[in-house]
Structure 1
Amino acid sequence: MTTALSPLRDAAFLSATAPEGIAPRFRFEAALDKPRDEVATAALVATAHGVYEAKIDGVAVTESVLNPGWTSYEWRLAYQDYDVTDVVARGAGPLRLELLLGNGWYRGRLGFAGANANYGDEISVAAALEVTYRDGSSQRIVTSNAWTAEESDITRNSLYNGQTIDANLRVGGTSLEVREVDIDRATLIPQTSPPIVRNEVLSPVEISTSPSGRTIVDFGQNLVGWVRFSVRGEPGDSIRIRHAEVLEDGELGMRPLRGAEATDEFILSGELDSFEPTFTFHGFRYIDVDGWPGELGPNSLEAVVVHSEMERTGHFTCSEPLVNQLVHNSVWGQKGNFLSVPTDCPQRDERLGWTGDLAAYAASANFQFDTSDFLDGWLRDLLEETRHTEDKVVPLIVPEVLKYAHFPDGFSLPWHRATAVWGDAAVWVPQALWWSYGDAARLADYYPAIVMHLDSIEPDVSDTGLWDGGNQLGDWLDPDAPPEDPAAAKADASVVATACLYRSASFAAEAADVLGKRDDAERWRAVASRTRKAFVEHYVDSRGVVRSDCATVYALAITFGVLEGQLRELAGNRLADLVRESGYRVTTGFAGTPYVTWALSETGHLQDAYRLLLERESPSWMYPVTMGATTIWERWDSMLPDGTINSGEMTSFNHYALGAVVDWVYQVVGGIRPASPGYASVRIQPQPGPGIDWAETTYRTANGPVSCAWRVTDGELRVEIALPDDVPAEVILPDGSRFAVTGGAHEFVGAAEASMTA
């Protein structure tokens, strides 16, 4: 869309002179050209540098919140288009337009370690109302310097620190000076990513008193959103609510939040006041409440769960309750972190779009929810951020707000060099989307970033053909690394990087073939071939031992297809030995964890993969579950067995990356895999193992739902599947028998095989 045709072409971006914490309210009263009952259609278009809420005649124009969301504002500022015909056509007389403006991400003082990163010092909002009458005439009302502004009842608003609402300021706030702000209107784009919405409401499951005498409310689930309520109290009194994910010694565990205050305050008017802090969000399960008038009961308040609108597509359940809880935790981790952008965590002073986390988790995310539009928007930001870096390097975070950071002297991050896993998100996320949805047009849109990423690696590839230069984060958060040094992994960082280069070059060749780019496909195949040859020559000995001889390097080399034939078999055997030697405790970090169970099951060690999945002692996937986790933790031991919080600086309790094992659960235990992009054809291949007697899995594809249910009884395996009409499937049973079916319901019976016995 050209700037000339933008629906905001003549709408001014309005700002107001006010302290940073105050959310100004802009007002305008507009006389319509014709009576309200002659209105045929009405649409409001709006956006902001900041976040906004719009009302007409006191009625909210949308149920979505935190609009316009977070994009790479320098190049992509999304505007929203609302059908407001009903509210405009209702009533009589002039229209009352209101725009409430908050800091949001634009002036959010984002980041960690004192970064305080802002896109700008001034927030602003613009809107245009287009009214069409029954006779075909139209009227346009836009933001301009004719609008007025005043202080609202929001006197403090920060995504990290929280929000203050003073009910005494709800009528007639102090007037503010209105200014028009210049922005680059070429950045305006129609919103295509899903909006942020209130998704569900949770009631308290317990209210208790802490050892220090504070009132603690437990909502039973680590969630992202806020608390809302209605209450009557003495005028001027305040209620203060702090949020935390866990308790430590019976009190809120606030230390993991680092610099984020995560505190909301509500000042009472003496009347019945309703409060909902919609210009912030918190990651929490627990709150403590100070100043509540009277008795606080389970019906006094509720937690509102907020995330980007996504339709649930995948479901899994099995005979092992701990695995079911692990899946639950992964789903809730995705809910909490898919809020406008895919973040690392939603609670502390960070909440950034780290590329490595999503590179690890994208396939899992796509099974659980329809992420096609959500991740499409993020990848378009990734393209712009990469295109505008000096060396066309994929940033570690997208949107890359930390380029505006004010880090203290001596603190730095490897921003300007290609980084394995993190940079590979430019390739692996499109790869996951391609196999989940099969959209070639969108793959073409993502392809330029794939090329830029691979080109950016070349300067750091040595004459050996290895990616052994540059800055690497390696197998981040290896459980054997000390809490204060999460990059101190067992896996050689260059081994990790070179395996990643092979995978990315291989998919680039596949994508180029799909897109008809033959020369590119040959180029990327040559890069992959060179990389594989170098990896085997320099990193693998004749016994199949890979340099640094730890689970992660074997998991990557096997799963990414770097090793073939006997070397692959030997590497699988060595991986299985390492897993057994560790007592089936996890020994991998961000790079290896998504792939270690895959590498085991694909090299004939299914029993070991099941035992690794089901191990309960730390570090393991089941340990957090046994400790009461309701989301995925950042560290395997974010909480220690004695109930104290890990001493590490990074200790989130909602951090989905290590939950990427659920992709293996859905495909190997559950048995549903795409046989071609977009599940146009399906492979049904459940692989039962020790510790799980039955499993049921469903996934809604573009063609309809696919389901697979299996049960083992007395050594007999019974599999029931259902397919959408005309969708072909290959069914593979553990005994090696294969069946070709198309559409409908089918049942198969076979031997459970020895894999079911430990």
Structure 2
Amino acid sequence: MSSQPSIASVSFEQHASGRGIGVSRPRISWTFAANEETERDWVQTAYTLEIARNSDPPESHHVQSAESVLVPWPSHPLRSREVAQVRVRAHGTANVQHTEWSGWATVECGLLKRADWTANAITSRFKQPEGPLRPLRLRKTFSLPAAAIKHARLYITALGVFQAYINGVPVGTHCMSPGWTSYKHRLNYEVFDVGPLLKGSQPNVIAAEVAEGWYATRLGFGGGRRFVFGDEMALVAQLEIDTGNEKKSILTDSTWKCHLSAIMTSEIYDGEVYDAREEQPGWSDDLNMDDASWESVRETEFPTAELVSPSAPPVRVTGVVQAVEIIKTPSGKIIVDFGQNLVGRVRIPLLTQSANHTITLTHAEILEDQELGIRPLRKAKCADTLVSAGAAIRNWAPQFTFHGFRFVQVDGWSPDDDVAPLTINSLVAEVMHSDLERTGYFSCSQPMINRLHDNAIWSMRGNFFSIPTDCPQRDERLGWTGDIQIFAPSACFLYNAGGMLSDWLKDLAVEQLASPSAIPPFVVPNVLSESTWPMFPQAVWDDVTILLPWTLYQNYGDIEILRRQYPSMTAWVDRGIQRGPDRLWDDSLSQLGDWLDPTAPAHQPGNARTDGTLVADAYLVHVTRTLAAIATILDEKVDAAKYELDFLALKTRFQYKYVSSEGYLVGDTQTSLSLAIVFELIDSPVQVANAGARLARLVRKAHFQVSTGFAGTPLITHALTMTGHVQLAYRMLQEQSCPSWMYPITMGATTIWERWDSMRPDGSINPGEMTSFNHYALGSIINWLHKIVAGISPLDPGWRRVLVRPIPGGTVNQAEAIYDTVYGRLECRWKIVWGKFDLEVVVPPNSWARVVLPGEDAQGGRWIGSGSWTFETWFDSQIGWPPQELRPPIPGL
């Protein structure tokens, strides 16, 4: 007998935990789980929500609806601090069958109004005259009544980054809190349940250590700037305790005490210096620590920015990587190899050295000439220093910095030490990043392709660090808009990035709309000075205003992201874009265009084969069409008509300007042809076929090496597939000579490189100033792995209707993808054995899929509902394999 699915999880908004949520009417979502006995084609027809708040009996709300994603809050609004329990039951066919109740999910409001904040901002009495700023320690002793603690919350933020303690116990597992935002406009705060840490009927200590973090540190390349947001650190903390009979608040104010930290400096780029001789054991829990060396604090101006509870999960330590080798270099240096390029910090489990002994750890991604390759770090020192006081130090790690590294040079500690020699177990690497939930998985029969996919995952992990950054190691680590615009479809498959990227878009919009020109900054939060990087309109990068909200909508089905970002979108298109007489881009403006084309000289990364204005114009047509679709979805009828007409006019003008009557592009590059094909800038089947054939010819002529940069790389394999040249796409994917996706893997890469040749075949580092070994942008090829090789992609926002259409080719004879959609788990796996193609598909309840088998017309196939399905057909994936290069008849040319 068939059964009903179960409710796997209940969540609220795009919030990672539901605690501290920043809206009074949080929308509710639930995902389904099925088993082998679950009825096929199960569709929700209604749902019942029960909401328990305070001690009142639960409310019951029955709604006739098939929706299970972000449904409206049915009760009266929540208040600041209010906690509610929610559970759901979904009803199936004819409203007769229903699931079991889900478990109770908790939603808790944060502080919704500024008036809810009664704490003061506090800092040291003495302002440090210049940076780097030495971190501060702040503390307060207080007593609680003997009554049991019913409820206790710590609301806390900082101008800088903080770690809080109650009675010596670290509060939470967060790192680098409260994260990086556009501090002049928006400042995150955190909410912690601290009831278990408090002691009734006796004194308690609340303490915090605050460092400059992104707030006051040096940021930007070319030496950067210090104090971009402010020049002194501050803490705001509000501990609210409820015993049932009494409510008590412990607030940051003038009664707190302050002392300089034993951390002497802690900077994002340069690292941290810890001097154990300056340590005060027990400073975070000793009730008698308030001696004469602890000064009174100074109350300072309360932050003027909006205080917000982030939807994104915090940065955490998410894993530990063991060292694999200790290397002695030709110059006698000691280097520890962790075998994986990662982002995080080094932890020393136990250190026993004599007093005044200094150990320095210098981090880098690569070796060059068998020595630590620090040149790509530019002006970032990336070094942590530890000074011993003579006593054993346990589990030391830097607290308020992070590094991108695989290799660590250890000075002051060697395997030859007599007392405590350095061994392979003396150091471990702690992996740090925003603790996003993993949602997507891919594997296939080719190990190198799997390694490429893993490399992209590692690069995303390292660069989703509070904000989506470009790189994690050198004097940059900024929120470049172009990188995330390109990689977002891949990112949203790999991890649930909806909350984090939605938060980041709020910063983008507030900074963009604060400018009369409505031009988004190149980096968000913007730390670049006009002299270093003047603000000017730019396609691809600034188009993130439209394309990233659209990507989030496609993956998570959240129309409110579109609605909230709509003023940013229209401002960019209506006021930000600098147009010529034909309403396309003004061609007098310099465009970054197909940035990092592999033929670009090392010191001229924007010198691409494809004209930058052509790239910009193609993107303009594409984003105008997307904006017309968004306006239609939002029921902005006037705008929808305007942008649709504008799109048609711009497309016609693009065709007149760049496309021949037979479908060839003026630019005649792989990037220009790919843009025209994927963005559907050419119309007739003959033109599309000719453009595809020309693209195929250029790919063969290039010997299957990559010939595209930022603009073309995400599209080239899709363009080949769309025009019937999928074997060429597989051949490009598997090419190993430089430049190619596989070349870095042949050189030992464990992340995606910034440049196709960040390391040259001879083992030397690319001589360009801008050379990183951990950038995710060129890893956007993995979107093609998910969509074409494994064969799954959304047909509806939120993946409610899915296209299952794997297209085998090359040497790949099996593949699978698993994706946790907002409805439940979608699975697709296939294999080919002696020409027989077998496909297994699992569709989550309340969803559908259109399955198109290899060899079938793309518009054909069959619809299936939820459940497990198998299909088979005969298909020869080796037709046209291997495709041949196009070589001149004269050998050697």
Q: Mark yes or no: TM-score above 0.5.
A: yes
Match of 2:537 in 1: 418
Q: 1:8 to 1:342 in 2, by over 3 A?
A: same
Aligned mates of 2:294, 2:655 — CA distance in 1 = 71
Tell me if 1:517 matches 2:643.
no
Give the C-alpha shift of residue 382 in structure 1.
0.7
- 1:64 and 1:133 mapped to 2: Cα distance? 27
Cα distance between partner residues in 1 of 2:822 and 2:120: 39
Distance 2:838 2:142 in 1: 68
CA 1:183/1:553 → structure 2, altered by over 3 Å: closer, same or farther?
farther
Check conservation: 1:7, 1:45, Cα contact below 8 A. no
One of 299, 303, 306 as aligned partner of 1:180: 299
1:378 to 501, 504, 522: 504
C-alpha contact 2:140 2:206 (8 A) present in aligned 1: yes
Corresponding letter in the other structure for 1:60: P
Which of these residues, 143, 162, 166, is aligned with residue 52 of structure 1? 162
**Closer, same or farther: CA 349–466 of 1 in aligned 2, 3 Å:** closer
Give 1:179 deviation, angstroms.
2.2
Whether 1:196 and 2:315 are equivalent positions in the alignment is: yes
Is contact 2:810–2:877 with CA below 8 Å preserved after alignment?
no
What whole-Å deviation, never above 9, does each CA across 1:239-298 have from its counterpart, x for those lacking one? Answer: 110000011111110000000000000111222203110210000001011112522122
Bigger mean CA deviation after superposition, 334-343 or 558-567: 558-567
Check the 8 A contact 1:418/1:453 in 2, yes or no.
no
- State the SS of the aligned residue for 1:544: coil
- Are 1:724 and 2:850 an aligned pair? no
What's 1:497 paired with? 616
- 1:53, distance to aligned residue in structure 2 (A): 0.8
Give the structure 2 partner of residue 428 of structure 1. Answer: 547
5 Å-filtered alignment, 1:557-576, equals 557-565=676-684, 566-576=686-696
Q: Distance in 2 between matches of 1:479 and 1:6?
A: 55
The answer to whether the aligner puts 1:122 opposite 2:232 as a matched pair is yes
1:26 aligns with 2:147: no
Letter in 1 for 2:759: M
Contact 1:27 1:96 in 2 (8 A): yes
Q: Which residue of 1 aligns with 2:63?
A: none
Q: How far apart, in 1, do the equivalents of 2:392 and 2:153 lie? A: 34
C-alpha root-mean-square deviation of aligned residues, in Å? 1.7
TM-fit CA distance, 1:16 = 4.8
Q: Is the 8 A contact 2:121 2:234 kept in 1?
A: no
What is the Cα deviation at residue 238 of structure 1? 1.3
Question: CA 1:457/1:143 → structure 2, altered by over 3 Å: closer, same or farther?
Answer: closer
Per-residue deviation, 1:458: 4.5
1:188-247 CA deviation, whole Å, 9 max, x = no partner? Answer: 122222111110011101112111111111111100000011211101111110000011
2:326 to 207, 212, 215: 207
Structure 2 Cα separation of the partners of residues 397 and 122 of structure 1: 23
Structure-2 change in CA distance of 1:158 and 1:466 (3 Å): closer
Q: Write out aligned runs for 1:310-459 (5 A).
A: 310-403=436-529, 407=531, 412-415=532-535, 417-459=536-578
Inter-partner Cα distance in structure 2 for 1:457 and 1:751: 53
- Relative to structure 2, which stretch is displaced further, 599-608 or 188-197? 188-197
* Aligned equivalents of 1:674, 1:78: Cα separation in 2: 33
Matched residue SS, 2:436: coil
> Aligned pair 1:158/2:278, yes or no?
no
Cα 1:266/1:186, change in 2 over 3 Å: closer
- The alpha carbon displacement at 1:524 in A equals 1.2
Q: CA deviation at 1:308?
A: 0.4
- CA drift of 1:560 comes to 1.1
Say if 1:262 and 1:748 are closer, same or farther in 2 by CA, change over 3 A: same
Residue 289, structure 1, aligned to residue 401, structure 2 = no
How far apart, in 2, do the equivalents of 1:644 and 1:183 lie?
A: 51
Distance in structure 2 (CA, Å) of the matches to 1:298 and 1:238? 20
Aligned partner of residue 718 in structure 2, secondary structure: helix
Partner of 2:96: none
What SS does the corresponding residue of 1:572 show, helix, strand or coil? helix
Does the CA-based 8 Å contact 1:245-1:284 persist in structure 2? yes
C-alpha deviation, 1:177, in angstroms: 6.1
Q: Aligned with 2:619: secondary structure?
A: helix
What does residue 741 of structure 1 align with?
A: 864
Q: Output the TM-score relative to the length of structure 2.
A: 0.82
Deviation for aligned residue 1:184: 3.9
Matching residue of 2:776: 656
Q: Which residue of 2 is the match for residue 644 of structure 1?
A: 764
- For residues 775 and 584 of structure 2, what CA distance do their matches in structure 1 show? 34
The 1:444/1:55 distance shift into structure 2, 3 A limit, reads: same
Is the CA contact 1:435–1:679 (under 8 Å) kept in the aligned structure 2? yes
Higher helix share: 1
| Percentage of pairs with the same residue | 41
Paired position in structure 2 for 1:226: 345
2:712 is aligned to: 592
Equivalence map 1:671-750=2 (5 Å): 671-736=791-856, 738-750=861-873
1:12 to 110, 121, 124: 121
Provide the aligned length of Structure 1 versus Structure 2: 747
Whole-angstrom distance in 2 between the partners of 1:649 and 1:434: 37
In structure 1, stretches of 5+ residues that fail to align are none
CA distance in 2, matches of 1:72, 1:682: 37
Aligned residue for 1:609, secondary structure, equals: helix
Task: Give the drift of 1:461.
Answer: 3.6
Q: Which residue of the partner structure matches residue 507 of structure 1?
A: 626
> Structure 2: how far apart are the matches of 1:15 and 1:470?
48
Mean CA deviation greater in 732-741 or 52-61: 732-741
The answer (yes or no) to whether the contact 1:724–1:744 under 8 Å persists in 2 is: yes
1:109 and 1:8 map into 2 onto residues whose CA distance is: 30
Shift in CA distance, 145/471, structure 1 to aligned 2, threshold 3 Å: farther
Distance 1:73 1:517 in 2: 32
Check whether the contact 1:460–1:470 (CA below 8 A) recurs between aligned residues: no
SS at match of 1:65: coil
User: For 2:746 and 2:607, how far apart are their aligned partners in 1?
Assistant: 27
Which secondary structure does the structure 2 equivalent of 1:38 belong to? coil
Choose which of 236, 245, 263 in structure 1 pairs with 2:383.
263
Query: How far apart in 2 are the matches of 1:8 and 1:50?
Result: 19
CA deviation after TM superposition for structure 1 residue 92, in Å:
4.8
**Structure 2 residue identity aligned to 1:539:** Y
- Asked whether 1:70 is paired with 2:180, we answer yes
Sort the Cα spacing of 1:738 and 1:3 in 2 relative to 1 into closer, same or farther, 3 A: closer
* Cα distance in structure 2, aligned partners of 1:281 and 1:15: 25
Instruction: Give the Å deviation of 1:175.
Output: 4.1
Structure 1 contact 24–149 (Cα < 8 Å) conserved:
yes
SS of structure 1 residue aligned to 2:188: strand
Query: Is there any run of 5+ residues in structure 2 with no aligned partner, and where?
Result: 1-21, 23-110, 284-292, 883-893
Q: CA deviation at 1:350?
A: 0.1
Cα drift, residue 362 of structure 1: 0.3
2:606 is matched with which residue: 477, 487, 490?
487
Residue of structure 2 aligned with 1:278, choices 388, 399, 404: 399
| Deviation at residue 57 of structure 1 after TM alignment | 0.8
Displacement, 1:622? 0.4
Question: Which of 743, 748, 752 does residue 623 from structure 1 map onto?
Answer: 743
Q: Per-residue deviation at 1:460?
A: 2.1
CA contact (8 A) 1:466 1:531 kept: no
Residue type of the partner of 1:220?
G
**Contact 1:468–1:498 at 8 Å: present in 2 too?**
no
Deviation at 1:7, TM superposition (A): 4.1
Q: Deviations over 1:562-621 (max 9, x none)?
A: 112222221111111111100000010111110011111001111111111111000000
1:94 to 184, 199, 203: 203
Q: 1:7 to 1:286 in 2, by over 3 A?
A: farther
Structure 2 partner of 1:143: 252
Aligned to 1:470: 589
The CA deviation string for residues 423-468 of structure 1, in whole angstroms up to 9 with x for no partner, is 0111111111111111112221122211111113454243364553
Give the Cα separation in 1 of the matches to 2:723 and 2:124: 61
